[in-house]
Amino acid sequence: MEKLLEMEHISKNFPGVKALDDINIDLYPGEVHALVGENGAGKSTLMKILNGVYQPDCGRILVGGKEVHISDTHAAHKLGINIVFQEFNLCNAISVSNNIFIGRHKHNKWGMVDDKWLYSETKKLMDYMRLDIDPNTILGELSVAEKQLVEIAKAISTNAKILVFDEPTSALTEKEIERLFEIIKTLCSEGCGIFYISHRMEELDSIADRITVLRDGQHIDTRNYKDMSRDDMIRMMVGRELNNQYPDFKRNIGAVILEIDRVFVPEQLDISGIQVREGEIVGFAGLCGAGRTETARAVFGADRAKEIQVKILGKPVKISTPKDAIEHGIGYLTDDRKQNGLALRLDVEKNINMTCYPMFLKNGLYSQRLADENARKYIDSINIKTPSIRQTVQNLSGGNQQKVVLSKWLSRETQILIFDEPTRGIDVGAKYEIYKLMNELSKKRKGIIMISSDLPEIIGMCDRVYVFCRGRVTGILSQSELSQERILRYAAGIDVR
């Protein structure tokens, strides 16, 4: 069978970083080729070269046996290559249909865009993907999960033969993931080849035919998927044995520190009766849009709620701005670090210290030395990989960016920390580190809320779980009661307490 794609001896250097070192990889029609590796291993870079975003320093690419030069994304599309990136490439201000067919509009005889065609084609696509989204909806109004599905629809609609999915399911729920896999199977049967980049092992189990492992820019191995054991995979990715995916914990749970008695937003949220104790990790589970992030933001003072009653250490508190929340010892790690968790164009030090600039005043003036000391403390203790303390945060990998966000909140004395999707888009090694950190924080008697769409993660880390569905808490489960099926039932609203 002729190969769809071959990438031979691909190398790529960035200033100070050797991103890819002599990589060889190929793709057959009808196969799902999983690409795994820690963040910074080079997967995204390799795919960006395929998509024409970067040019390789050396090596060549063959499509259908013929050597090609992919100078830009347009050229890639012409060759039948399309990528769904981890970071969305969509415009929030225009409609779904325009986003999907951007640059490919059909014109009517007057030279104007054929809106009818646009609408019907988009609707066909939405139906195919079983999405209940009107093509004229403005993209900015959709949830993160819906945007991800639109991004996938866009790639599919180009009739590309070589597709790359980079973490396509990070915001999706079980049902949506199932549908995606069905679509992938269909595409493969039509002769497409698919690169699938993901950190979710369970998903790969369902669809991967072959698997390639990259580590630190180097090709480690390529095998048939069934010939690769989980332990082997992880060992190759991180170069070390990982016994447990989740660190052991023995929690010392104390008194109640946070009580969310009521959060009410008409038509959106009707929450009551949530408690978090010292040393406890409480999970907020549920489908996207169920109200978990909204509740957290309301408690943190980031958004207004019509009615809100919160008690800390038994005393009612009034929190109207994030500053109030911080002063009461609450910290909030947002679910979208690039959007609102970090100032991308500022450096590491300025980001780590953002919650506590006043702490570094010496004689009335800001002491750069004290600030740097504090930043270095976290760079060392939680292992943030950065060439320097003045490195612009934009240039760090996803996992390291998340660590910077975490440091921001560790810099501040907090009693309650809310982690919103803390391990989204982060490799296995870094995930483990973050779980360990969360455990250490709980040992320090902090109360932790973990919002996550990753069920194994919830089950692996939490003492108790509140399950949200459509703005309400439908289930409360203790450690022993936790199972994927139970959580899912409450999340879908099948069971309600």
- Footprint of another protein (CB under 8 A): 14-16, 300, 302, 321-323, 325-327, 332, 334, 339-346, 350, 354-355, 357-358, 361, 365-366, 368, 387-388, 390-392, 394-395, 408
Nearer CB in complex with another protein: 379/477: 379
Please give the Cα distance from 349 to 366 (Å, whole number): 13
Nearest to 454 by CA among 411, 410, 487: 487
Matching residue, tokens 């609102």: 340
Distances (CA, A) of 390 to 3, 9, 327, 337, 346: 45, 34, 28, 19, 8
Nearer CB in complex with another protein: 254/387: 387
DSSP assignment letter at 387: S
Q: Cβ 11 to another protein, closest distance in Å?
A: 16
Q: Cβ 373 to another protein, closest distance in Å?
A: 16
Nearest to 274 by CA among 305, 325, 310: 310
Rg for the chain (alpha carbons), in Å? 24
Nearest to 197 by CA among 352, 39, 64, 34: 34
Catalogue the long-range contacts made by 122-131 (C-beta closer than 8 Å, 24 or more residues apart). Answer: 122/96, 122/97, 125/100, 125/153, 125/156, 125/157, 126/96, 126/153, 128/153, 128/156, 128/183, 129/153, 129/156, 129/179, 129/183, 130/179
DSSP assignment letter at 16: T
Q: Cβ 54 to another protein, closest distance in Å?
A: 8
Q: Cβ 19 to another protein, closest distance in Å?
A: 11
Nearer CB in complex with another protein: 205/327: 327
Nearer CB in complex with another protein: 325/458: 325
Q: Cβ 423 to another protein, closest distance in Å?
A: 20
Q: Cβ 408 to another protein, closest distance in Å?
A: 7
Per-residue HEC secondary structure of 413-482 comes to: CCCEEEEECCCCCCCHHHHHHHHHHHHHHHHCCCEEEEECCCHHHHHHHCCEEEEEECCEEEEEEEHHHC
Nearer CB in complex with another protein: 86/355: 355
Please give the Cα distance from 228 to 50 (Å, whole number): 26
Q: Cβ 258 to another protein, closest distance in Å?
A: 18
Nearer CB in complex with another protein: 182/327: 327
Q: Cβ 497 to another protein, closest distance in Å?
A: 32
Please, what's the b/e burial string for 59-98 (b: 16 or more CB within 10 A of its CB; e: otherwise)?
A: bebebeeeebebeebeebbebbbbbbbbebebeeeebbbb
Nearer CB in complex with another protein: 89/483: 89
Q: Cβ 302 to another protein, closest distance in Å?
A: 6
Nearer CB in complex with another protein: 72/327: 327
Nearest to 163 by CA among 171, 172, 154: 154
Nearer CB in complex with another protein: 195/332: 332
Nearer CB in complex with another protein: 58/496: 58
Q: Cβ 42 to another protein, closest distance in Å?
A: 15
